[in-house]
Chain A
Amino acid sequence: MKISYFYSTPIGKKIVMAVTGIILFIFVLFHMLGNLIIYSGPERYNGYAEHLRKLGEPFLGENQFLWIARTVLLIALILHIHSAWAVSKTSWDARKKPYHVYSPVQLDYAARTMKIGGVIILLFVIYHLAHFTFGFSWAHPNFIKGDVYHNVVVGFSVWWVSAIYIVAQLALAMHLYHGLWSLFQTIGITANKKRDWRRNFAILFALLIAIGNISIPISVLLGIVK
């Protein structure tokens, strides 16, 4: 009952949004780091992809870690979206008549685009799964199951596909810039205003994730990874 009361309140939903955001952030960080292995060649990269299936052995069987991770991520994603939708609705209902003239003082671009940014990232994730995980023929021109290196190089050779990925990573960086700072505030962790480590943390990881991920399509287009 405490849980249902907690989640019925906007503060509770914001805390759920922050905690699921941390889970999704950790995934995105390791996803980026893992993909950087592409720079050490096809064997190592395909080996890494194969190794993910065996992670946790001998405690877990083949693919079990992967399915646990997928389940946790899916639940986190659903809660992240549901809480975001619900608190947005509360806020939209709180001022139905907008101002004729409104001048924000310190509201930044990243903060005000969290909702639309989130929608863009969600659409991208769906496309990304169709492209590299399921390898649907409409999404990928020559998908070979198990040959991850080949799929990435062929996939990113199409310039506009790479462009979609780059734009999506910029949207993700913006989302992380506000989210990674904001989550500390939401779970009650404050910092010195003048030297706010939470801001530096957010900038560091937003940039790290965006640059790491964007480097891959660019390297493919430049022929560094082929």
Chain B
Amino acid sequence: MKLKLKIWRQKNSSSPGQFVDYTVDNISPDMSFLEMLDVLNERLIEEGKDPVAFDHDCREGICGTCGMMINGVAHGPLPGTTTCQLHMRHFKDGDTIVIEPFRADTFPVIKDLIVNRNAFDRIIKAGGYISVNTGSAPEANSTRVAKSIADTAFEAAACIGCGACVAQCPNASASLFVAAKIAHLNILPHGQPERRQRTIQMINQMIEEGFGSCSNFRECEAVCPKEISVDFIAFLNKEFIKSIWK
């Protein structure tokens, strides 16, 4: 495959940045999107140029490190997939692909396609601890969890914190991320003691970071690599009311 790439290049957070055109040749349809960028970077390094900086770690779709806007969609055209699990067979020979970093004021660009997602870490930190006994492993049946509750909690816990929800949201809202994180603990018995304070503290941190508000556009669930439902945002809203007035 031969592809034209328009990639956002930005030296650091304070420089303006611009698109640079590249052409890559001999791309196998079985390569992942990141492997395609590796091919480009190897050539750039050989030519003595600065390679394109992008975040990646596990390349198995489970760590949440990679992520970029591919033709205007977070993680690209394939639903329920991280950038590293998107394969070049989903593109056509001769395609032009526009690659841009995730954009939100809360996610400043560090370099090229790498953005700073520490805001998410601060939201997690604001959530605090859960009261569980340390020491030897507890007896497995001492805290019983209904199958349906375990399943729902797991759907929320599948969030890998990649930031695609914020990136794709026209409002740059972190509602889906915060909802998933709050839901996965608030649904389970282990999360009950700190339920209210966790909800309020995480929401306060979300506001303080400067994320946008939810307009129920549902763009977040459309690009979420773990296909987390906006139903969790409804849950978040309900938890918020309960945390204030229960």
Contact = CB atoms under 8 A, between A and B. Distances in A.
Tell me whether A and B are bound partners: yes
Interface in B51-94: 69, 71-73, 79
Nearest to A3: B244
B222 A105 contact: yes
Contacts of A107: 170, 217-219
A90 B213 contact: yes
A91 B237 contact: no
Given A2-B244, A14-B213, A188-B235, A112 B170 contact: yes
Interface of A: 2, 5-6, 9-15, 87-88, 90-107, 111-112, 114, 178, 181-182, 184-190, 193
B172 interface: yes
A185 B230 contact: yes
B213 A91 contact: yes
B33 to A, nearest CB: 16
B210 A93 contact: yes
Main secondary structure on A side of the interface with B: helix
B172 A95 contact: yes
B72 A91 contact: no
Given A14-B237, A94-B106, A2 B216 contact: no
Contacts of B106: 94
A171 to B, nearest CB: 17
B213 A111 contact: no
A97 B17 CA distance: 12
B216 A111 contact: yes
B103 A186 contact: no
A100 B100 contact: yes
Contacts of A181: 216
Contacts of B172: 91, 94-95
A187 to B, nearest CB: 7
4 nearest A-B residue pairs (beta carbon):
A188-B238, A103-B72, A91-B171, A94-B212
B41 interface: no
A199 to B, nearest CB: 11
Given A2-B244, A103-B72, A105-B223, A94 B104 contact: yes
A78 B103 CA distance: 33
A87 B216 CA distance: 12
B233 interface: yes
Interface string B98-109: 101001111000
A14 B233 CA distance: 12
Contacts of B213: 10-11, 13-14, 87-88, 90-91
5 contacts: A10-B213, A94-B172, A94-B173, A101-B69, A105-B79
B121 to A, nearest CB: 18
A103 B236 CA distance: 27
Nearest to A96: B105
B73 A105 contact: yes
B237 A106 contact: no
Contact of B103 (A93, A98, A103, A106): A98
Given A94-B211, A105-B79, 9 more contacts: A12-B240, A90-B213, A93-B212, A105-B219, A111-B216, A185-B233, A186-B214, A186-B237, A190-B235
Contacts of B72: 99, 101-103
B237 A187 contact: yes
A10 B244 contact: no
Given A100-B98, A100-B100, A106 B171 contact: no
Nearest to B8: A100
A182 B214 CA distance: 10
Interface string B181-215: 00000000000000000000001100100111111
Contacts of B19: 100
